[in-house]
Amino acid sequence: MIRSIMLFIIIINILVSCAENKKSSDNVIIEQSDLLSALKTQFENATVYEKYQNVYARKATEGEKVKTYTSDGLETENVAKSSDFVVKNMTESKEEYILSDEKFNSRYELKTENVDDARSLYKPTGKVKTIKVDNNILDVFSIENSEFYIIAAWDEEMIVKEGDYLVSPLDYTEIYRIAEKEFFETYTNK
């Protein structure tokens, strides 16, 4: 009986491993460094947008895992460090994500303290440059279908779909995705 259980566990592990490998081989995954070098000129010439929608935020708990869901599904996930913040956008999908203390404080300022359950309301202060993901961007990376993955600054996969926006702070330190619907719910042309 124990041998049967052990064999079953081994088979399940092999199947899971094969499924994970299939996901990686079927999808294009682009590293931050490749994104930054391939799109540098486009970002330098891109339109500046500013976030206008306030956010709710709270201090994260170390080890807390946050999955970010937008209107079109799971976008990415991240695990918090002790000094991080969990940010909740005021969009229809109310997506949550993690920001380091440094990034959070450079992009938001306190507006109203303790609005609900340890969350406070913050006003955005940051500006970004954006590139809409279209056929030109798909061609730059030789992507045959309409979606791909990038490795986000926090070393997790983040899905990117045609019509989304690739976004970078004005210092070009990272590139991340904002889904098309959520982009227009939170950003405006400067």
Q: Please give the structure tokens belonging to residue 84.
A: 């991080």
Q: Residue 75 to residues 2, 70, 114, 136, 161: CA-CA distances in angstroms?
A: 40, 6, 28, 22, 10
Percent of the chain with pLDDT over 90: 79
HSE-CB of 88 using CA atoms within 13 angstroms? 15
SS3 169: strand
Global confidence as pTM: 0.82
Q: In this predicted model, what pLDDT tens digit does every residue of 56-83 receive, in sequence order? A: 999 999 999 999 999 999 999 999 999 9
109 in the same domain as 67: yes
44 in the same domain as 101: no
Q: Which helix (H) or strand (E) is 12 found in, with range? A: helix 2-26
Tell which residue, 156, 147, 148, 151, has the closest CA to residue 175: 151
Residue 14 located in a structural domain: no
Choose the weakest-confidence range: 6-15, 24-33, 163-172, 178-187: 6-15
SS3 100: coil
The mean pLDDT value of the chain amounts to 89
174 in the same domain as 83: no
114 in the same domain as 69: yes
Range of the domain at 185: 29-48+127-189
131 in the same domain as 179: yes
Number of domains within the chain = 2
Q: In this predicted model, what pLDDT tens digit does every residue of 145-175 receive, in sequence order? A: 899 999 999 999 999 999 999 999 999 999 9
